[in-house]
Amino acid sequence: MSIAAKFEIEYLQYLDAEGKQVRDDLPAFAKDLDHMVELYKLMLSTRVFDAKSVALQRTGKLGTYASCLGHEAAHVGIGSAMKPEDVFAPSYREYGAQLYRGVQPREVYMYWGGDERGNDYQKEPARHDFAWSVPIATQCLHAAGSALAFKIRKEPRVAVCTIGDGGSSKGDFYGAINIVGAQNLPMVAVIVNNQWAISVPRKIQSGAPTLAQKGIAAGLFSIQVDGNDIIAVRKAMEDALDRARTGKGGSVLELVTYRLSDHTTADDARRYRGEQEVKDAWAKEPMKRLRNWLVAKKVWDDKKEEAWKAECDEWMDNEVNAYLETKTQPVTAMFDYTFAEVPADLAKQRDLAISLDKKAH
């Protein structure tokens, strides 16, 4: 019997759970220890930001919030590999990548606080990135459309989208990677596999041994990466971006990590996953392994850690204050930016909202 095709999925890792190198061929960026310290500092900043965000929600100052606890290496690795001219189409928890690209915490808070102005990023290069996407996987189609535009315009730019393990089962994801493969478009689709699609575990989401291999059917380069190892994430992203930028096609990256938090602040993960599972995941978390590696290289220590945390706390206090001091939009704002010409039924609702608002004040 003849074989029509064969494939295999490579697994990439440089640092194990304890922060020890498992291979000697470090990429060039990882040999720059000052740069690696900066990446660690951003990961730590992201974790401080995340803790503050949950605290704001718990005290009634923020709406439902999607935590990124445990995703720091995956997200910072994605953002730091991209060039400013590239375009990012995130889902709703890739804060580390967005902070690297200039999104401000106050903007994140505005968004989760119900103010769409949070999507109007003020700093480059985030200003030309896409807004947060809560509908699952639709951002993958936005990225594919951007990649098509880059190809038509002959621009050396790459579109990057992120999706969760559960979201990679959506038709939007498959449609996006299919057109990327068929048209040889410059796009990198990153599956952040944190093991849980809300309460649905990875083991019953797909019968495939890896989620990365979903890209094989689309004709894309596909790889599975230790998503808690920022060196591996950054290296895989750099390679994928370079392939896309030079006309060699798109890629699907599966970053294997773990959601250490609840799905959102509206969720209670204790109802569907065991305590030991989470405890085991904490032993593999990304911050510890990079910190151990940097300490072993003698470029980081407890004193530097505490000093940076103090800076992060001050930074976050300023951002929180900026968010809380933002003037509330008028009630009409929810009606003004959906249609060029407001439909009659919506106009009636608008008038009613105005009258109720006047009575309330």
**Cis bond before residue 84 (omega within 30° of 0):** no
| Cα–Cα distance, 310 to 301 (Å, whole number) | 15
Distance CA 132, CA 66 (A): 11
Q: Exposed/middle/buried for 269, CB within 10 Å: 0-12, 13-18, 19+?
A: middle
CB 322 within 8 A of CB 106: yes
Cα torsion angle, 111, 115, 118, 119, sign: positive
* CA dist 282 → 50, 165, 190, 191, 232 (Å): 16, 19, 23, 21, 19
Q: Helix (H, G, I), strand (E, B), or coil: what is residue 170? A: coil
Are the CB atoms for 68 and 262 separated by under 8 Å? no
Q: Which residue has the tokens 């997200």?
A: 75
Burial 112-125 (b: 16+ CB within 10 A, else e): bbebeebeebeeeb
293 CA to centre of own chain: 24
Q: Which residue has the tokens 């040999």?
A: 31
Secondary structure letter of residue 167 according to DSSP: G
Task: Tell me which residue of 277, 232, 269 sits closest to 253, measured CA to CA.
Answer: 232
User: Helix, strand or coil for residue 261?
Assistant: coil
- Which residues are known catalytic residues? 259, 263, 272
In terms of residues, how long is the chain? Answer: 361
**Token pair of 131 as six digits:** 């807004």
